[in-house]
Chain A
Amino acid sequence: MIEKRRGKLEIIADILRSMQKKEGKIKPTHLLYRSNLSHAKLKEYVNMLLEKGMIEEKTIKGRKMYFMKDQGYKFLLEFERIKEFSDSFGL
């Protein structure tokens, strides 16, 4: 079966979900592996999420990590609500 291409919002939700599964923090390499995106595309999305204040970048013990912020949790909740609404009402 051919999978439907993910939209922009779905990709953002997938990135945030990957972070949520790792208790709100993730290494860039893990995020690349889990998000199923090219390095260039992931960088583009991460920069956008940083700009929107959904995630933040911190260096811990010399290693770069991404942390999910309140804004990110709010987006994910809203996205999941829309998805449930869409599924329930057959949209």
Chain B
Amino acid sequence: MVFDSIPYGLPSYVFGPNWFYGFDSIIEFIAIIVSILLVFYSHRCFKLTKEKKYLYFSTAFLSLTFAFIVKIMGTLAIYKPSITRTALGSSVHQAFTSLTPYNINAIALVMHYFFMLLGFMILFLIISRLTWKNQRVIALLVYFVFLAAWISIIHYQLFYLTSFVLLSLITYSYYQNYKEIKSEKARFVTIAFGILLVSQALFVFVIYSRIIYVLAELIQLLGFVYLLIPFILIFKKKPKKPKPVK
């Protein structure tokens, strides 16, 4: 674990072993692609049907996309210090002279925590069928997301524990959904979130071993691949009778 302090005396972390530097970014890049596909398709559904649930689903995955982007950017500052010598890197460095790669990592980490929790929270709200009428409940939950993201800066385990709890509820709801509709695609979605749940459980213990981080990242990759499968299956569907009328 690389440890440094940001101006508020808060730590920044890089949990992986040296040889894994960059590989986790590739895994997160794959997660970004899967999330973006879901963002675009659910937004398209919203434009066609005007149903808000698709817009919220799109927002949830957009938040997860941001979370992975900031994590990649934050870790890149440590994995590739030479990036600060590029034209963009040096101009950023001139604008924020007090920023060290570890500062960038710490700030990115906070943003990563916030966007991840927000994404899972929105997802939980959608599948729990909470409507905008439950404004007070939603406001309280958003406040807890802020709180968890903030305290996670000091105790990183709190972030993974919170996402574990949220993912447990999400996975359970998806399992109920699968039991109700019994479709193959719903099964894949349930398994995907179940796998992501396992990865979050492992992330809680990364402080004890760097290998756990590698394992958690690989399991997370598997989770996102499983999330992609139902999406591909839906698009493989062909029209039953495409013949035009003569």
Assess the A86–B45 pair: CB atoms within 8 A: yes
Asked if B126 is at the interface (CB within 8 A of a chain A CB), the reply is yes
Assess the B245–A85 pair: CB atoms within 8 A: no
Assess the B173–A81 pair: CB atoms within 8 A: no
Question: Taking A84-B185, A84-B237, A86-B45 as contacts, is the C-beta distance between A91 and B242 under 8 angstroms?
Answer: no
Specify which chain B residues have a CB less than 8 angstroms from the CB of A78 in the assembled complex: 48
Q: Mark A64-91, 1 if CB is under 8 A from B, else 0.
A: 0001111001101110111011111111
Assess the B173–A90 pair: CB atoms within 8 A: yes
> Which of B49, B127, B173, B189 meets A82, CB within 8 Å?
B49
User: Please, which residue of chain A has its CB at the minimum distance from the CB of B49?
Assistant: A9
CA distance in complex: A37, B222 (Å): 47
Interface residues on B, range: 20 to 34
Assess the A88–B185 pair: CB atoms within 8 A: yes
Specify which chain A residues have a CB less than 8 angstroms from the CB of B239 in the assembled complex: 73-74, 76-77
Specify which chain A residues have a CB less than 8 angstroms from the CB of B235 in the assembled complex: 81
Specify which chain A residues have a CB less than 8 angstroms from the CB of B174 in the assembled complex: 90
Specify which chain B residues have a CB less than 8 angstroms from the CB of A87 in the assembled complex: 177, 181, 183, 185-186
Specify which chain A residues have a CB less than 8 angstroms from the CB of B189 in the assembled complex: 88-90
CA distance in complex: A11, B190 (Å): 30
> Would you list which residues of chain A between 1 and 33 have a CB under 8 Å from chain B?
7, 9, 20, 23-25
User: Please, which residue of chain A has its CB at the minimum distance from the CB of B41?
Assistant: A85
Question: Taking A77-B237, A88-B230 as contacts, is the C-beta distance between A70 and B54 under 8 angstroms?
Answer: no
Assess the A91–B54 pair: CB atoms within 8 A: yes
Assess the B48–A81 pair: CB atoms within 8 A: no
User: Please, which residue of chain A has its CB at the minimum distance from the CB of B237?
Assistant: A81
User: Please, which residue of chain A has its CB at the minimum distance from the CB of B128?
Assistant: A90
Assess the A69–B245 pair: CB atoms within 8 A: yes
Assess the B240–A67 pair: CB atoms within 8 A: no
Q: Apart from A82-B45, A88-B183, what 20 extra A-B contacts exist at CB < 8 Å? A: A20-B240, A24-B241, A67-B245, A69-B244, A73-B240, A81-B234, A81-B237, A82-B48, A85-B45, A85-B231, A86-B45, A86-B54, A87-B185, A87-B186, A88-B230, A89-B189, A89-B230, A90-B186, A91-B42, A91-B53
19 A-B residue pairings within 8 Å (CB atoms): A7-B49, A20-B241, A68-B241, A68-B245, A69-B244, A74-B239, A76-B239, A77-B238, A80-B237, A81-B235, A82-B45, A84-B185, A85-B45, A85-B234, A86-B54, A87-B181, A88-B230, A91-B53, A91-B127
